[in-house]
Amino acid sequence: MSADFYRGDLLQKVLKIDSRFWNEYPDLHFEVDSIVLEVKQTFEGLQSLLDTYKPLSET
């Protein structure tokens, strides 16, 4: 069996999990909260660079 997975696939699936699951497993919700916070902080730190980046084809 073969499958193609891409960066962010797992996080997307986790973020779509119903809130009833998180209510039942708050320790896992806490873990996801810390991962989401880290992703947000990383993205926010890169956002200005991403906004001004020009690919070689555009220079």
pLDDT of res. 46? 92
User: Does the residue 10 lie in any domain?
Assistant: no
Provide the residue range defining the domain that includes 24: 18-53
Nearest CA to 19 among 28, 9, 7?
28
The total number of structural domains in the chain stands at: 1
User: Does the residue 1 lie in any domain?
Assistant: no
pLDDT of res. 1? 58
Residue 35 scores a pLDDT above 90: yes
pLDDT band at residue 59 under the 50/70/90 scheme: low
User: Does the residue 29 lie in any domain?
Assistant: yes
0.75 exceeded by pTM: no
Instruction: Tell me the per-residue pLDDT of 2-19, one tens digit each, with 9 for 90 and over.
Output: 677 788 899 999 999 999
User: Does the residue 31 lie in any domain?
Assistant: yes
User: Does the residue 40 lie in any domain?
Assistant: yes
User: Does the residue 58 lie in any domain?
Assistant: no
- What 3 state SS string does the chain have? CCCCCCCCHHHHHHHCCCHHHHHHCHHHHHHHHHHHHHHHHHHHHHHHHHHHCCCHHHC
User: Does the residue 34 lie in any domain?
Assistant: yes
pLDDT of res. 3? 72
